[in-house]
Structure 1
Amino acid sequence: MAQILKIGHRGSKAHVPENTLASFQNALDMGVDGLELDVHVCSTGELVVIHDFTVDRTTNGTGEVHKMTLAELKELKVEGGHKIPTLEEVLELAGKKCFLNIELKGRHTAAPVSALMEKYVAEKGFSYNDFIVSSFQREELMIMYNSNPDIHLGVLSQASVTQAWEWAQEFSAKAIHPHFSLLTESNVKKAQQAGYKVYTWTVNDPEDIERMKSYNVDGIMSDYPERL
Structure 2
Amino acid sequence: MLEKTVVFGHRGYPAQFPENSLAGFAYALAHHVDGLEFDVHLTKDQVPVIMHDERINRTSDGTGRITDYTLAELRQFHLAHGEVIPTLAEFLDLVGDHDVQLNLEFKTDKIQYPGIEALVLGMIHQAPLKRRVIFSSFHLPTLKTCQQLAPNEAYCWLTDKPVVNAAAFVADEHLSGLHLNHYQAGVPVAERIWTVDRPELAKQLFQQHVAGIFTDDFVTMTALRDATVTGDKVHRRVG
With the length of structure 1 as denominator, give the TM-score of the two structures.
Answer: 0.87
Structure 1 residues 85 and 209: CA distance shift in structure 2, 3 A: same
1:27 shift after superposition: 1.6
1:116 shift after superposition: 3.8
Q: For this pair of structures, how many residues does the alignment match?
A: 217
- What's 2:97 paired with? 96
SS of equivalent residue, structure 2 residue 58? coil
SS of equivalent residue, structure 2 residue 32? coil
1:172-204 CA distances to partner (integer Å, 9 max, x unpaired)? Answer: 11121011xx314x33xx32xxxx321111100
1:139 shift after superposition: 1.7
1:120 shift after superposition: 4.3
AA in 1 matched with 2:149 = S
Structure 1 residues 4 and 142: CA distance shift in structure 2, 3 A: same
Structure with more of its chain in helix, by fraction: 1
Contact 2:133/2:153 (<8 A) preserved: yes
- What's 1:61 paired with? 62
Residue 30 in structure 1 maps to residue 61 in structure 2: no
Structure 1 residues 149 and 119: CA distance shift in structure 2, 3 A: same
1:101-121 CA distances to partner (integer Å, 9 max, x unpaired)? Answer: 000113445843444433443
Q: C-alpha root-mean-square deviation of aligned residues, in Å?
A: 2.0
Which runs of 5 or more structure 2 residues have no equivalent in the other structure? 222-239
Identity %: 30
Residues in 2 aligned to 1:55 and 1:132: alpha-carbon distance in whole angstroms: 25
- What's 1:105 paired with? 107
Structure 1 residues 40 and 116: CA distance shift in structure 2, 3 A: closer
**Structure 1 residue ranges (4+ consecutive) displaced by more than 6 angstroms after TM superposition:** none
1:137 shift after superposition: 0.6
Contact 1:55/1:62 (<8 A) preserved: yes
Which runs of 5 or more structure 1 residues have no equivalent in the other structure? none
Residues in 2 aligned to 1:227 and 1:220: alpha-carbon distance in whole angstroms: 13
Contact 2:117/2:145 (<8 A) preserved: no
Quick one: higher RCO (CA 8 Å, sep 6+), 1 or 2? 2
